[in-house]
Copies of this chain bind each other. A is one copy, B any other.
Amino acid sequence: MAVLHHHSFCPHSRFVRLAMGEIGLEPQTAERKPWERDTDFLLLNPSGTTPVFEENEIAIPGASVIAEYLDETRGLGVQGRRLLPADPAGRVEVRRLLDWFNGKFYDEVTAHLVTEKIYKRFTGGSPDAGAIRAARANMRYHLRYIGYLAATRDWLAGSEMTYADLAAAAHLSCADYLSDVPWEEDEMAKTWYARVKSRPAFRTLLADRVPGMMAPAHYADLDF
């Protein structure tokens, strides 16, 4: 029995849900609260972070480790999709962007937004306005970079949709729920995001809600 331990608004969890949706993998899911330090969860993943994918008695922790595992065990994907290209240069570019979005974009933008605006509703403590301001400022240049990639290639890493698109879209979807993506500043980024958002794998993400917190009207609108 395969289980994905995740949190609905953890961007790394969302990335893995998208990847699994694309290759047609439908594990059971277990919602975890990354801010709690459950002993049983720490046994699965000593760093205590989501997501963790459990399969065949292996606990696979973290977005990039799961992405490599899926590539190695599902290769061409159940539906013939290849989310990591076959050629060395293509693999380098997808992994570079995966690090960029799951690492740099997360550290500079989405970690602050999700922690301050969502997780703190559950942990208590008031949101750090300085952290949110910094995240919003950083968002602007990240959105420009996504727009630049989308303007020069069919998809962010090249001619096919890859893990890079899913990672960027996963992080943006969390920020978009919080109305923190200035879409009007980059038409290319917006058009690219509408394409990713309309994929079937995105549907369950767009249905998730934070109790007591409304999403903006365009959030789940596939045509923006």
CA distance A99 to B47 in the complex (A): 10
A91 surroundings in chain B (CB, below 8 A): 68-69, 72
| CA distance in complex: A96, B72 (Å) | 15
Chain B residues, Cβ within 8 Å of A69: 88, 91-92
Complex Cα distance, B56 from A60, in Å, reads 33
What residue in chain B is nearest A53 (Cβ atoms)? B92
A100 within 8 A of B: yes
- Give, as a whole number of angstroms, the nearest-CB distance from A180 to chain B: 22
CB-CB < 8 A to A104: which residues of B?
47
A157 to chain B, nearest CB (A): 13
List residues of chain B with CB within 8 A of the CB of A65.
Answer: 92, 95-96, 99
B residues within 8 A CB of A95? 62, 64-65, 68
Residue among A69, A89, A92, A100 with max Cβ neighbours from chain B (10 Å) = A92
Closest to A55 in B: B88
A58 to B88, CA, bound (A): 9
Q: Which of B61, B62, B72, B96 contacts A61 (CB 8 A)?
A: B96
Question: Sorted from nearest, which 3 A-B pairs have the closest CB atoms?
Answer: A65-B95, A58-B89, A60-B92
